[in-house]
Amino acid sequence: MRGFALALALRARAALWRARAADRRRFVPLTLLLAIIEGGFIASVLTLAVTLLLLGAPIVALVLLALIAWLVVPHWLIETLAIPCGWHRAAWHLARFDPRGDAQTWPSLVAARAAARAGAPSDAVAWITGRLPARLDGAGIVVHALLAHGAGDRADARRLLHSLTALQAPGVDAQVIASEWLALDAAERGAWRELVDGIATWPATPLRYLLEAVAADRLGLPRAPGAALRWLRWLVAPAHRATWRYLRAAPSTRSTTTATTDAATAAPVEPAPTDARVAAATALVAAAQAPSPERAAAAVAAWREVLDDPAWLPAQLARAAALGLDPTAAVRTVGAARDGVIARLVQLTVTARAPLPAGDAGVAAAVRAGARARILDGLEIGFDRLHARVANEGGELAMIDEWREFLAVRDGYEAAVTPGGVELERVAYPHADTALGEWAVALWNRRRQHHVSHAITSWLFARAREVGDAAAVEHHGRNRALTIPDA
C-alpha cells in the first residue's frame, strides 16, 4: 500500500514542480512536499533493492536502482557537468531523460545554457536553433536570449527575457529560466528594487526566493526575512558559490542614500545666476550636455521667463537698432534668434523625452507644438517603413528578429507618446493600429506565428483602451480572444 501511494505521488511530481513555479504562495509547502516525495521514494526503493539483493534477486534490484538513477542522475549531470563544461549536445540529450522539465522545450533550454557558458560558438548556435520549432514561442525566445548572453550581448538578453510577459502562455520552463537569469542579473547590477518589483511578475524558484530575500534586506524593507531565514533559503537554493557573497553584511540602500543625501546637503552650492538670460542660457547648456527630462523642463521654464517677458522684444529691437539695423532687419534678426532657441528647446524636449510643457501661448505653446510634430513625424516614418516591409513578402525577417523589431517599435512608441499624454497618443495611435494590425494579421495567416501575432494584438488592444478607441477595442478584442492553435 505504501509503495502504491509513493508511485502515485511520484506520478504527480512533474505537476507539482510546475504548480510550485506557477504560484509563489504555495512555494514553501510544495517544496516540502516535493522533498518528502523524492526522499520517501528514494529511501523506499533503496530499501527494497537491498532487500532483493539479500534475497538473491539482483536483476530486479538493478532495475529499481536504474529507476532511482533516472530520477536523480540526469538533472545532476546537467547541472554539475554538462552546463559548466559548455557541452550543449550532452546537455540536450541528458535533458530528454530529465523528468523535471517538459520534453518538448527542456532540451533546447538546457543546451542553450550550456552553449552560453562556452561563449555561444557559431556551430553550437546553429545546432541548437536548428532544433527549435518553426513557430516562435516562449522557449524559443529564452533560447535566443541565453545565446545572446553567451555572445556578450547582455542588454539584448535582458530585453528578450523581460518580453516573455507579453506572451499569453510562455511556458513554465521558459519562465523559470528567465526568472532566475533576471534575478541573478539584477543582483549583479545591484538593482535590488527591480528584484522586489518582479515578485508579482516572475515565478518563485529557490534561487529567486533567496535573492528576493537579500533584496528586501538591502532595501531595508520592514518585512524582509531575517538572517536565519536568508541562510535557510541559501541552503535550499543552487549555485552556493555564486550566491555566497550576497549573504555577507552590506549597508542597506536606505542608509547609503541617506549618507549621500547628507553629503550633498553639506556640499557648498554655487549661487544661481541673477540675470534671467544668463540663467536660461546656463540651463540650456547643462541640459544639452546631459539630457534628462528634469533638465529639459528646467531649460524650457527658464526660457519662458525670458522670452515671454513683455519687455524682452522691445529691448532686443532697441539693441538691434543701436547696432545700426533698420527696423525690418531688426525684427527679422530678433525673430530668428527666438526661433533658434525654440528649435533647440524642441530638440531637447524630444531627445530627453521630457513632458510637453503646458500653456496656450508663448514659449510653452511653441515648444509643445514643435515637439508634437517631431514625435508624430518620427512615428509615422517608422510605421510607414514597417508597412512597406510587411506588404513585401520578400521583406520577412527571421522570427526572433521580427520579435526584436516588435519590442523596439513598442518601446519606441510608448516612450514617444508618454511625454504628451493621452492627447498626443490619440493622434499617434491610428498610425500604429494600421501598421501593427497588418503585421499581426500577416504573422498569423501567412507565417503561422500565432504567439507573436497574439502578443502584438494584445498590445494594440491595451493601447486602444488607453486612448478610448471603441472600434479598435472591439476589433482587437475579438482577435485577442482567438485560441492559439497547437503546434
268 sits in the region (left: phi over 0; alpha: psi -120 to 50; else beta) called: beta
Structure-block grid coordinates of residue 79 = 547541472
Domain residue ranges of the chain, discontinuous segments joined by +: 2-204, 276-354, 373-480
d(CA 306, CA 353): 23
Average pLDDT over residues 107-120: 95
d(CA 301, CA 283): 9
Give the lowest-confidence range in 145-149, 230-234, 460-464: 230-234
User: Could you tell me which of 219, 229, 107, 106 has the C-alpha nearest to residue 171?
Assistant: 106
Phi, psi of 325 (to 5 degrees): -80, 140
Sequential DSSP letters for 181-194: HHHHHHHHHT-HHH
Quick: pLDDT tens for 404-457. 999 999 999 998 888 888 888 999 999 999 999 999 999 999 999 999 999 999
Whether pLDDT at 262 is above 80: no
Average pLDDT over residues 123-138: 94
Q: For residue 25, what pLDDT is reported?
A: 66
Q: How confident is the model at residue 393 (pLDDT cuts 50, 70, 90)?
A: low
Q: For residue 458, what pLDDT is reported?
A: 96
Sequential DSSP letters for 302-354: HHHHHHT-TTHHHHHHHHHHHTT--HHHHHHHHHHHHHHHHHHHHHHHHHTTP
Q: For residue 91, what pLDDT is reported?
A: 94
Angle separating helix axes 58-77 and 27-54, nearest 10 degrees? 150
Whether pLDDT at 271 is above 50: no
d(CA 193, CA 184): 13
Average pLDDT over residues 291-308: 87
Structure-block grid coordinates of residue 438 = 497588418
Q: For residue 113, what pLDDT is reported?
A: 96
Q: For residue 46, what pLDDT is reported?
A: 77
- Side-chain half-sphere exposure of 85, counting CA atoms within 13 A: 10
Whether pLDDT at 74 is above 60: yes
Quick one: which H or E segment has residue 196? helix 192-197
User: Could you tell me which of 171, 120, 119, 161 has the C-alpha nearest to residue 141?
Assistant: 161
d(CA 299, CA 307): 12
Q: For residue 30, what pLDDT is reported?
A: 73
Q: For residue 23, what pLDDT is reported?
A: 64
Is pLDDT larger for residue 413 or for residue 392? Answer: 413
Q: For residue 256, what pLDDT is reported?
A: 42
pTM, entire model: 0.79
pLDDT above 70: percentage of residues in the chain: 88
Residue with cell 520534453: 103
> Counting runs of H as helices and runs of E as strands, what totals does the chain give?
25, 0
Are residues 195 and 243 in contact, defined by beta-carbon separation less than 8 angstroms?
no
d(CA 291, CA 353): 9
> At 482, is the secondary structure helix, strand, or coil?
coil
Is pLDDT larger for residue 465 or for residue 421? Answer: 465
Output the CA torsion sign for 438, 441, 447, 452: positive
pLDDT above 90: percentage of residues in the chain: 38
357 sits in the region (left: phi over 0; alpha: psi -120 to 50; else beta) called: beta
Average pLDDT over residues 38-48: 75
Distance between the two ends of the chain, CA-based, in angstroms? 40
**pLDDT mean across residues, the chain:** 84
Q: For residue 22, what pLDDT is reported?
A: 62
Q: For residue 473, what pLDDT is reported?
A: 95
Quick: pLDDT tens for 314-372. 887 888 778 777 788 878 888 888 888 899 998 888 888 888 888 778 888 898 889 88
Average pLDDT over residues 13-28: 66
d(CA 328, CA 237): 78
